[in-house]
Amino acid sequence: MCQKPFECRAFTIGATMTKPALWLSLPSAKLHQKKIKTRQIKRRTPKRASEEAKYRRRVKVWIEGKYCRVAWYARMSLEPATQCHHTHGKRGKLLLYEPWWCPVSQWGHDWIRDNPIEARKLGLLCDVGQWNVPPKAG
């Protein structure tokens, strides 16, 4: 018998186990297994789908000839923009609200995600609590 059971090789469970436990193959084991509930992904409404199609067409025209704003601020380099970053979110009317669009590259999008504090200082992200809040009329 080992004096220190957790250091003894006889107690190292799982180190050499390659087969599932024998009791899992018994019919009664299936009663104890959890059933995984599956859900369908909510479909877009036809209105939202048409807004997104309109958005894709507008961004394609809008982004031509623009450079990544993040690359300019962070690295002082001119890099062609390939994506549209939404500084305040995309919910509802914000999807098509161009004043809050920002031209970025994939690197720029990653930088914004990884450096939210610096991105807020540069105006690339809205203030905390303002995400997906539409602009005030007036």
Residue 80 DSSP one-character state: B
Is 39 part of a structural domain of the chain? Answer: no
Residue 130 pLDDT class (50, 70, 90 cuts): very high
Task: Assess whether pLDDT exceeds 70 at residue 3.
Answer: no
The answer to which of 1-5, 40-44, 128-132 has the lowest mean pLDDT is 1-5
Residue among 43, 57, 68 at smallest CA distance from 96: 57
10 falls within a domain: no
Say if residue 115's pLDDT is above 70. Answer: yes
Separation between Cα atoms, residue 104 and residue 107, nearest integer Å: 8
- Residue 108 maps to a domain: yes
Quick one: pLDDT at residue 62?
A: 97
What percent of the chain lies above the pLDDT cut of 70? Answer: 78
Q: Whole-prediction pTM value? A: 0.67
Please report whether residue 91 resides in a domain: yes
pLDDT single digits (tens) 18-73: 677 777 777 776 666 666 778 888 888 999 999 999 999 999 999 999 999 999 88
- Lowest-pLDDT choice from 18-27, 76-85, 103-112: 18-27
In a domain, residue 5? The reply is no
**In which domain, by residue range, is 85 found?**
46-121
In a domain, 83, yes or no: yes
* DSSP assignment letter at 21: -
Nearest 5°: CA angle at 103, between 102 and 105? Answer: 130
- The verdict on residue 71 lying in a domain is yes
> Residue 104's closest CA among 61, 135, 73, 58?
73
Number of structural domains found in the chain: 1
Q: Please check whether residue 15 lies inside any domain of the structure.
A: no
